[in-house]
A and B are shown apart, each in its own frame.
Chain A
Amino acid sequence: MKIKPGILFARLVAVVVVAIGVSLAVPLATAQNIDMPRFRWENFTTANGLPDNHVFCVLVDGDRIWAGTENGLGRYENGAWKIYRPADGLAHQAVLSLALDKRTGDLWVGTMGGLSRVSAGRIDNFTQLNSGLSNDIVYGVGVQGDFLWAATAAGASRLNTRTGQWALFNERNTPMFEIWTYSVSPAEDKVYYAVWGGGVLEYDVKTEHWKDYNDPDGETELVLMKDQGLIHEITTSVSYVDKILWVATYFGASRYDGRYWHNFLQKDSGLPSNFLNQIKGVDGNRAWFSTDKGLAYYDGTNWAVYRPALDTHKPEMLVRDASGAVKNITVQSAPAHNYILGVDFQGDDLWVATAKGLSHGIRQHGSTETAQALRQDKATQGTAIPNR
């Protein structure tokens, strides 16, 4: 069928107008009509069974929630908490990091006194005395196939769970000029380490080579060359998802796609603070940020912050659009505290580790977009804690 030139032109004009309209619509949208995920928050403290209110990390294992606290590991299942402490076989009461081996169901627990493996109720401990682990302070753990990667206060350790062989990585065999490794995010092709004061280290699984990424501004708090590299040397968390690396530091966050860096600062993004304890990517475009001033979510364009208001302590949800417009959304609940240390996903829900309790963000449905925003089917991620 032939189309007359006049009609064709009119259709082209219409398509262009619609396209322009759509493209304008996104940036012109205000915070008022952006649908960011909303939650009803239920908070756990020692009053209802949590081992301790200072929660360093949280991990979701199906219907089971693991919370690493300053005084024990808690397992929440069927509405009840079970607590593991050294008397129960745990390496140490201060639980800093958690990782799940999704193939076996085994839980790896990084503590202030070694590494514990919890397998169907049995706990085996690995320490710097009884094993090849480099140091007993295990800030981060991650599982990559048959390998367990640990971020310790004395470099990186890797355990081959089939042979029992340990490999240690430190300043002598990597570009790690600081050995205070803080977080690890292993995937099939790469393993990333956040090195507190030493930027980011990348391990190429295929070539077995290490590479470091550092702040081009050096070890300063200046940002002279934003988006030209890692935002700061004091890194606290890494999350490698869909071949995109997300990095948290005490001075902002970074995203790296293998070629370009993009940095996020409080002054030019929706981050409520530049002080980040953890970052967890949903995919290559979306991530959750655990800061000292609330939990933040970035959907690739817009931001949302969830916290008790810093002044009134009343529940607060802030939404910031691409133009920088911020709207305060009325909410009835908030995470237990604005000092956030970690987050994990349970379907559409969130579990959040804070300095004053564990919070369960129960997704309030109404938008398919937000449901997608939380879903993550990637490899096991390591979690870490920020403070000494």
Chain B
Amino acid sequence: MLGRSDYVRKITWMVRSAPIASLISALLLALIFGLILVTTAATPPAKQDEPTTGDRYLSPIEMALSPDGRLLYVVCQAGDELRAVDIQSGKVVSTVPVGHVPSGIALSRDGRQIYVTNAWSDTVSVIDAATLKVVRTLPTGFEPTGIVSDHSGETLYVANRLSSDISVIDVNTGQEIKRLLAGRGASYLALSADGKFVYGTHIYPNAGAFRTPPNSEITVIDTARQAVVERKRLHNVAGVFHVALSADGKLGVAAQLRPKNLVPLAHVEHGWVFGDSLTLFGDDVGGTVQVPIDELERYYALPWGVAITPDKSKMFVTTAGSESVTVIDVRKLLDFTRNYTHTRKQSFVNDLSAAANYVTARISVGRNPRGTLLSQDGKRLYVANRLDDNISVIDTSAEKVTSTIDLGGPKTVNALRRGEQLFFTADYAFQGQFGCANCHLDATIDGLQWDLEPDGFGKDIVDNRSLEDLAGTEPFKWNGGNPDMPTECGPRTEMYFYRSQSYNAQELSDLVSFVYSLPYRPNRYRLANGELTPAQERGKAIFERTKYKNGNPIPEKNRCAYCHSGPKYTNQRQIDVGTGKPTDRSPVIDVPQLPNVVYSAPYLHDGSARSLEEIWTVFNAKDTHGVSNDLRKEELNDLVEYLKTL
């Protein structure tokens, strides 16, 4: 790794040793690139043209097969629809409009009902498989994602990403019976072959103490009791994605990220920033065992979808950032795991030489491969290439793509789509270690705090910020050091993050366009009629107040609405509000935007406030971050309720 002084020395050496002509050429190139940056930086890019066909992109993300194996049902997230594909012909035979941002799919055991979760509608669309029509819409928690139907066909389990719980829904009545506590960011579910247990994984880590390793869990639900009976703790794990179980019920696998967010990211050359890995569980391994899928000099970023063949001979893992499918020999994996843990009595999840013992192939597929599905006989593997609008069909014996099913999306790729592809790929980072989407999971946050700059261990710790509707919130970084998005995504990313090639001007422009296009997620705390509840109304009055309770005026700069002003609730300035830490190089903090702040815990620039309340109960002793010490507890609660509506 090169420290700041190393860079200076390196550049000095280059200047001394380069011929004058070359130096002039380099300066001219730098000038031209700088002009491009300035041009793109001045304002957020204008809204990009839609695809020339006029159609929306589809973004296939999850799939299910009809019981007879004839139809492949594909959830198309950007298209807000389900497409049914005839497996034999590879043609789309039906399109079913569903809710907004569909994200998960399940079939009833008899295959008569198809259930699709609609993440931004907070519903499940119930589709009659015979007519391929939506026949009912069921309410869920916030941002429903994964879904399974139990063996009786009478109960649905739905993982709600934003409310971090699991809805238990009575199919007959359509009513939600209860909500089960899940981990943060509950997202994916799998039913055991015998139907006795549902396993749930989570895209965000559970809340933990400040600057401690992240932890997640696999939530285990007993379907007879409809209650959580176990939480398998996953140490040093943040994002966990798909989970699958073997047909004999003895082996479970979940795809996951192991972030190294407690050490400076500048150490990317020294080792991985993320460990792309799996957690194995079940009788075959006993307890939980974490295994890596990366190699010594190549990483397979964002392991997402997982599938185990019916005979348990192979395991397939889509790597969403690396455009590939990793093939694992299950027997070799289990043998290696048992031998390693037996002989060395330690974990090998950080051993980058381990994967060579059980990974047998890496199969290239399309962009941002997500959900994956095996045919019932295990001979074919389907992979949803989210950003190519197609499905790769893989012969599981030959371990090769044999065909690609075109789902019928637009044939042109516009700037936004190119930007999205750049956002989700890990190709640009050193050894393909990670991409934007590693920290901004599904273009959101990761719930982690990072040590980004090469300024020493533990300096300038920063919480991951939301990317929703960023226009008008410049500058960027918590210290406001980046005046615009091209600087944030361009040189800064190259220098501090990727340590490798960066984007050319066109790519940077596309990426910035995509980032600026990210909309707000629906806010679930606002009433449908747009009015505020009494508590929210009281909170608004506190937010906007200009006087202490004793009647004296609050200095203008210490009012909530002074810094958090304008349509995005930020005055776009950098201010010292007393929340700086001894480890910060400067106490001056960029005023963050507040819309959807409820979804982005923890809080403050370094993520030290675990809840909205702690911003004031713990970190505002001197009333420097707004005036809160004259508030009663219920008034602070009202303020929090109002902030949730922003």
Contacts and interface: CB of A to CB of B under 8 A. Distances in A.
Interface string B183-223: 00000000000000000000000110000000001011000
Nearest to B633: A134
A129 B180 contact: no
Contacts of A163: 525
A106 interface: yes
In the A-B complex, the 8 residue pairs with the smallest Cβ-Cβ separation, listed nearest first, are A105-B227, A132-B637, A129-B617, A168-B634, A120-B228, A103-B178, A119-B181, A130-B611
Contacts of A323: none
Interface of A is mostly: loop
B525 A168 contact: no
Contacts of A103: 177-178, 227
Contacts of A4: none
A132 B179 contact: no
Contacts of B525: 163
Contacts of A129: 613-614, 617-618
Interface string B524-558: 01000000000100000000000000000000000
B225 interface: yes
A120 B227 CA distance: 9
Interface string A129-165: 1111010000000000010000000100000011101
Contact of B640 (A119, A120, A132, A172): A132
A166 B636 CA distance: 11
A48 interface: no
Contacts of B637: 132, 166-168
Given A105-B227, A130-B611, 18 more contacts: A103-B178, A103-B227, A104-B180, A105-B225, A106-B228, A119-B181, A119-B228, A119-B231, A122-B181, A122-B206, A130-B614, A130-B618, A131-B613, A134-B634, A146-B179, A162-B163, A167-B637, A168-B637
Interface in B122-180: 141, 163, 165, 177-180
B23 interface: no
6 contacts: A103-B178, A104-B180, A105-B229, A120-B230, A122-B217, A167-B637
Contacts of B109: none
Contacts of A122: 181, 206, 217, 231
B179 A162 contact: yes
A117 B181 CA distance: 10
Nearest to B165: A162
A105 B222 CA distance: 11
A168 B165 CA distance: 24
Interface of B: 141, 163, 165, 177-181, 206-207, 217, 219-220, 225, 227-231, 525, 535, 610-611, 613-614, 617-618, 633-634, 636-637, 640-641
A120 B141 CA distance: 21
B617 A104 contact: no
Nearest to B206: A122
Contact of A131 (B179, B231, B611, B634): B611
A130 B181 contact: no
Interface of A: 103-106, 117, 119-122, 124, 128-132, 134, 146, 154, 161-163, 165-168, 170, 172
B141 A162 contact: yes
Contacts of A106: 181, 228
Contact of A170 (B217, B617, B634): B634
A104 B228 contact: yes
Given A122-B217, A129-B618, A104 B633 contact: no
B389 to A, nearest CB: 36
B163 to A, nearest CB: 7
A128 B640 CA distance: 13
Given A103-B178, A165-B535, A130 B610 contact: yes
A77 to B, nearest CB: 13
Contacts of B230: 120-121
A167 B217 CA distance: 30
Nearest to A128: B633
B141 A128 contact: no
Given A132-B633, A132-B637, A165-B641, A120 B231 contact: yes
A168 B535 CA distance: 11
Nearest to A62: B225
A168 B633 contact: yes
B231 A130 contact: no
Contacts of A117: 181
A168 B637 CA distance: 9
A121 B634 CA distance: 31
Contacts of A146: 179
A145 B179 CA distance: 10
A104 B227 contact: yes
A129 B615 CA distance: 9
B406 to A, nearest CB: 42
B403 to A, nearest CB: 44
A106 B618 CA distance: 28
A163 B613 CA distance: 15
A130 B220 CA distance: 27
A161 B633 contact: no
A311 B339 CA distance: 66
Given A120-B229, A168-B633, A128 B181 contact: no
Given A134-B633, A163-B525, A104 B181 contact: yes
A154 B229 contact: no
A200 to B, nearest CB: 22
A35 B222 CA distance: 42
Nearest to A101: B178
Contacts of B611: 130-131
B133 to A, nearest CB: 31
B621 to A, nearest CB: 12
Nearest to A119: B181
A130 B141 contact: no
Contacts of A170: 634
Residue in B163, B165, B637 with the greatest tally of chain A CB atoms within 10 Å: B637
A117 B229 CA distance: 14
B390 to A, nearest CB: 39
B613 A132 contact: yes
Contacts of A120: 219-220, 228-231
Nearest to B221: A120
Contacts of B207: 124
Contacts of B165: 162
A161 B179 contact: yes
